[in-house]
Homo-oligomer: A and B are copies of this chain.
């Protein structure tokens, strides 16, 4: 056991999977000697050499497209895309190929690929460095989409992702890369893709969230006198609607918190499924505390954009009064 940050937990997972399985290789911009712009691959170049930790040309479609080829050949590439804002150029390779390969070839070819991408706002970065596109990829059948909210989960989920026989987008909430530490076992372990985590239990209200927002939810819960159950989805697709259903059936009230713009965000899917499954138990409409339907502003205003404990607290009060 060691007390690790999320960055360290991911680094540890990468090291362990690479030691164990020489089909695993890492490619991307600045992942080599530099250890990545967030230093997530720090030390790996030295340890595993330039054949397994590969600095590529600056081209995201190229990184993902060649990774698809590597994966089709049976390797387990783990490409890094530097910021979620630069997934865009790779969108087509991800959605037109990685997501479709297994079904369009009826299993002749598969794409066991794990795309690591820092995600979300809150670090005062330049434009296009603070977005949250998880719903885009959840809408694309054939992908799995994961977003851990803690170091322990990050390690376990990343190991699951790398071993998963299908393509996984592994979003790493950059705001909590080094925000706190947690006990993380040295030994390998997996956290299953598709299972939510009940962060704390409660009876009055359910909060559903994922990624860095989980921290804001916890702050709001601490301030509140209500008995609140917090669910960290951990996986965006496939998602653990059973865990949500179970909780909301009990509490009758739900607030969903996410950074992405509200319209067509993943919150809409969860809210809809709650309505479908807990229709008779619902005491108030499910509430979304989300990013606004605007471009994430430059950093001077980003705190006005991001859902924070204040906005969550208000929603808790309001839904309670409904």
Contacts and interface: CB of A to CB of B under 8 A. Distances in A.
Contacts of A288: 272
Contacts of A141: 261, 263, 292-295
A180 interface: no
Contact of A92 (B91, B100, B261, B279): B91
A301 to B, nearest CB: 11
Given A272-B286, A275-B271, A264 B88 contact: no
Contacts of A261: 139-141
A77 interface: no
A293 to B, nearest CB: 5
Contacts of A88: 91-92, 95-96
Interface residues of A, number: 47
Nearest to A101: B295
A166 to B, nearest CB: 13
A289 to B, nearest CB: 13
A266 B264 contact: yes
A268 interface: yes
A282 B280 CA distance: 11
Report copies per complex. 2
A139 B135 contact: yes
A104 B85 CA distance: 15
Contact of A279 (B85, B140, B285, B293): B285
A295 B263 contact: no
B266 A276 contact: no
Contact of A285 (B103, B268, B276): B276
Contacts of A31: none
A284 interface: yes
Contact of A104 (B127, B271, B275): B127
B128 A96 contact: yes
A284 B295 contact: no
Contact of A260 (B127, B139, B260, B271): B139
B264 A268 contact: yes
A284 B279 contact: yes
Nearest to A88: B92
A242 interface: no
A144 to B, nearest CB: 12
Interface in A282-306: 282, 284-288, 292-295, 298
Nearest to A239: B263
29 contacts: A61-B89, A88-B91, A88-B92, A88-B95, A88-B96, A89-B92, A91-B91, A99-B295, A103-B294, A104-B127, A136-B139, A138-B264, A139-B260, A139-B264, A140-B261, A141-B261, A141-B292, A141-B294, A142-B295, A263-B269, A264-B265, A268-B268, A268-B269, A268-B272, A272-B272, A272-B275, A272-B288, A275-B285, A275-B286
Please list the 6 inter-chain residue pairs (A to B) with the smallest Cβ-Cβ separation, ordered nearest first: A88-B92, A139-B264, A268-B268, A91-B91, A271-B272, A279-B285
